[in-house]
Amino acid sequence: MKIVRYCLEHERDYKLTAKVFDIPYANVYGWVKKYIQKGEERLSDKRGCHKKDEELDEVYLLKRQLKQMEREYEILKLENELLKKVQEVERRRSGEKAGMKQSLSQSGKRPKR
């Protein structure tokens, strides 16, 4: 609200307001526009404010549950890919060590310690 009021008090100088508060011009413009259209209520932060489950219909609940499951699936998929890459790296390292030991034993040289 402070930023919007400042902008309106300075004849809607979005550029100046953005510079003073060190925020993007587009944010200032959007906030002022929302304030003018719908008032202070429109600017309230509604992130994380969900309706109670009793207020929602079954279809909405199922859609919300599906989105949550899709997010969990993507996380699991990424974790699985990461584990596969780690296993591949470990497999290659153990293969390289075995190859080095074999080549050293064939050449009769031992590594310096």
CA atoms of 45 and 95, how far apart (whole Å): 55
Residue 59 has pLDDT above 90, yes or no: no
- Which residues, 6 or more positions from 111, have their beta carbon under 8 angstroms from its beta carbon? 104
Place of tokens 């919300």: 64
pLDDT of amino acid 110: 60
pLDDT digits (tens, 9 = 90+) for 75-100: 999 999 999 999 999 998 888 777 77
CA atoms of 113 and 7, how far apart (whole Å): 72
Please report how many Cα atoms fall inside a 13 Å half-sphere around the Cα of residue 64, on the Cβ side: 10
pLDDT digits (tens, 9 = 90+) for 31-54: 888 888 877 766 666 666 666 666
> pLDDT tier at 109 (50, 70, 90 boundaries)?
low
